[in-house]
Structure 1
Amino acid sequence: MPYAADAATQYQDARHDPLRVLVVGAGVAGVTTARLLRRNGLHPVLIERAAAGAAEGYMLALMPMVGPVFDELGLWPEYRERAVAFGRYRLCAHHGRPVRTDSMGELLADYGDYRGIGRGELLDVLSGADCPVSFGTTLAALTETAGAAMVQLACGDHTGEYEFDLVVVSDGIGSGTRRLLDVGPIGRLDTGWGGWVAWAPPDDEQDLGEELWGAGFFLGSYPVRDRIGVFLGGPDAATADGPERLVAAIDRQLRTRTGRTSRALRAVLDTDRPYYWPLRDVRTARWVTGHAVLVGDAAAGFLPTAGIGAGMAMESAWVLSRLLVHADRANLATLLDAYEKLQRPRVEAAQDNSRTLARMMFRDGRAFAVCRDVAARLLSVRSVLKPIRRLLDARPDPDAAARRALSRSD
């Protein structure tokens, strides 16, 4: 579990490192990066703008590309204890009747574990016993010189100035740090939809994820330990007045419903002020500046449609940390360039897949929903997962990439 430590205290250890690293954002990407760098002998300063204890959030499905992170940190037992195996996927037609149930375990068994976990529980697992964080702290100013990044950190009324060799920007899809850097234009996709996250009690199908692709709504329920994560979404106009109106409209549409569907809708109504998730993404033109690098949602923020965003963020953190094993202050720019060339095409391919699924899932109109139901009966989950399986078939080798990059620069 992360523990509080002010930036000045963290910097006392970091300032003697061969690479002085600041990690901005203690979400999935930031904590993963910080922990991997610590394992490799560095003492990154990790800051987070939110207060301690604000990490509950939502449910995550982690694809097998996260395996190298748990391998390096030795966290497989803790992860498997806190997560549940995502074995089956059930798709329901727009009127509520199940269309098909597929074995996700069989489809991904060759690649590793596919599990569901709450965001807060994942952060607890990743942080382990050695993860100091300066909570309530922001990066107020950043100036890059030829030799370093000069930063100003603010915590309440107190500010401090520090010098770092590298700033890892991992403060999420709405990154404030990104605005301080010359990363070029920010591409944005707004689906015009959003929805609420809620939690339902566990049931007797804790290996099952279920989705209902409705006409003007989407309902998904996904198992994590001891509960079911629920997402109910719809067009912005339909969600503007709160979940009661949308649930009433769904009740009028459904001719049948599974027990999971009923419990998921009830969970949304019973949750006091459920977390609202606008369904938008971002994509930056560049990931690297002189002494800064973007990781996770700050580089490419995902729609949740393919359930792969957190996995790609963790993979990116691992790739970066492995490249930095080979880094010093003289060759840092070469290895950061290698990171972007290696990882950005993979992340953007996964993001494109999420966007494609969004065009199928987030649609209004009964005629389209009927056609989509027919296609769902014919189209296998194996074919839908093909882009993700391609990523898993061609996993990155950051150590080889580092050797190639450094040999070319000699």
Structure 2
Amino acid sequence: MLTDTPLDSQIAAQHDDRLRVLIVGAGIAGITLTQLLRRDGLHPVLVDRMPEMDHPGYMLALMPTVDQALVDLGVHEDYLAAGTPMQRYAFRSHRGKMLRSESMSDLLRVYGDYNGISRGALIEVLTESGCPVTFGTTVQQVTDRTALFVDRDGTPAGEGRFDLIVGAHGMNSRMRSVLGSAAPQVIETGWSGWVGWADDLSDPTLGEEIWGNGFFLGAYPVKNRLGVFLGGPDADLADGPVAFAASVRERVDSLGPRLEASLRAIETAPDPYLWRLDDARAPRWVLPAGVLLGDAAAGFLPTAGIGAGMAIESAWMLGRMLAHADRQTLPVLLEAWERVERPRVEAAQSNSQMLARLMFRRGRVLAWLRETTLRRLSVRAVLGPIVKLVAGRPDPDAVARQALA
């Protein structure tokens, strides 16, 4: 559980720590790193600009890259119980016809599960041992490792001196500029989508997608329900989900009962979360005043279902390597962390960008060409580069020892 804690109490708790760490952003990456450091005996300060944990949440599909982090935190069994394995993937044509259905478990079983879980359930698992956080607070400025805190209105909220400041504040985080980053490379797709939840569990192990002519509809199993995503070009979404859902039905011959239930879930949701589909990549992670982590370092499009998993892996790598660090060895270990982990994350990000180039196109001819391509490409071929990343996960302790040798 995330526990709202006064900032001065958090700062006081780390007085005798060998490393004083500040983590800005209580998202998946920030919480994972916080909890790993706490397991190692440190008392990292965690702050978030939100007044409370009121993110509406969405579904996550996590590959086995996350497993060791959850094992190290002692929550792996609880994670499996809070989610559900997505064992198969089905792809439909732009008119709704089933084109192919493939096994995901055959692709990944040697490494672990491809697990579906809601963001909220994952945060509950990560924080089940307790996790102090100061809500409504962020960092305005860093000078000589001293962070100046402000509340949501910009009112000064205190200061603290830290050995490491981690910006994990999301895709549009100001922490990039605060920590001294150059502008990120940004891909603006011009698409967004609504996230909702459906009760149809006719096949609770199947993830299903239709890449339409100017729309995308996907249904993904999580615990006891389906996470639904309905997306399209921003201009087409302007009239709201009911009108856009009606236009989707006009463009297909049949959705089948499961995707029809998914479409209704978006129509009937009182206030579905709108997810902007952009991508950002910071040129460096280790910066003059701290480091970037998660979406602040590399914000993924959701097209390969790997962004959250790589954020967790990056946090795990950093946390395990910081177990070898003191104030003198910290710089060399941070450089080694970026040298090993950033190419892995950017390779996964490039894979999601490749899939986006196929998805974010409209026109019947282009839709037909896309389907012709995907008929020939198996899931194994499309996700092959990511499977290699899963198979080649580095050993953070070995990386740390080598850097310190």
Work out whether the TM-score is over 0.5: yes
Q: Which residue of 2 aligns with 1:12?
A: 12
Question: Which residue is equivalent to 1:3?
Answer: 3
Q: Deviations over 1:185-244 (max 9, x none)?
A: 310001111111111114121111100010111001111112111101111111122122
| Number of the residue aligned with 1:101 | 101
Aligned pair partner of 2:146 in 128, 150, 175: 150
Counterpart pick for 2:340 among 322, 342, 348: 342
1:158 Cα shift? 5.4
In 1, Cα distance between the equivalents of 2:171 and 2:400? 28
Alignment of 1:231 with 2:229, yes or no, is yes
Corresponding residue number in structure 2 for 1:176: 174
Whether the 8 Å CA contact 2:200–2:258 is kept in 1: the answer is: no
DSSP-derived class of the 2:287 partner: coil
Residue of structure 2 aligned with 1:362, choices 360, 363, 366:
360
Given that 1:169 and 1:177 are in contact with CA atoms closer than 8 Å, whether structure 2 keeps it comes out as yes
TM-score, normalised via structure 2 length: 0.97
Cα contact 1:55–1:119 (8 A) shared by 2: no
Q: How many matched pairs?
A: 403
Q: Deviations over 1:112-169 (max 9, x none)?
A: 11110110110110112221111111112211x2xxx101122365511110000011
* Residue 30 of structure 2 is aligned to residue 34 of structure 1: no
Q: 2:129: which partner in 1?
A: 129
Please say which of residues 69-78 and 350-359 is displaced more in the overlay: 69-78
> AA paired with 1:152?
L
Question: 1:258 Cα deviation (Å)?
Answer: 1.3
Q: State the match for 2:71 in structure 1.
A: 71
Contact in 1 for aligned 2:200/2:261 (Cα 8 Å): no
Unaligned runs of 5+ in 1: none
CA distance, structure 2, for counterparts of residue 257 and residue 186 of structure 1: 39
Report if the CA contact (8 A) 1:165-1:291 is conserved. no
Cα deviation, 1:59-80, whole Å, max 9, x if unaligned, reads 1000100011111011112111
Q: What is the CA–CA distance in structure 1 between the aligned matches of 2:287 and 2:336, rounded to whole Å?
A: 13
Unaligned runs of 5+ in 2: none
Q: Assess if the C-alpha contact under 8 Å between 2:3 and 2:132 holds in 1.
A: yes
Would you say the 8 A contact 2:84–2:117 is kept in 1? Answer: yes
Q: Which residue number in structure 2 is paired with residue 46 of structure 1?
A: 46
Question: Please, what TM-score do these two structures have when normalized by structure 1?
Answer: 0.96
Match of 1:293, SS state, is strand
Q: Distance in 1 between matches of 2:181 and 2:365?
A: 42
Provide the aligned C-alpha RMSD in A.
Answer: 1.2
Alignment correspondent of 1:242: 240
- Give the conservation status (yes or no) of the 8 Å contact 2:180–2:288: no
Query: Counterpart amino acid of 2:4?
Result: A
Name the counterpart of 2:194: 196
One-letter code aligned to 2:398: A
Equivalent-residue separation in structure 2 for 1:218 and 1:32 (angstroms) = 31
The 8 Å contact of residues 333 and 403 in structure 2, kept in 1 or not, is answered as yes
Q: Which runs of 4+ in 1 moved over 6 A?
A: none
Hey, what's the Cα distance between the residues in 2 that align with 1:345 and 1:56? 31
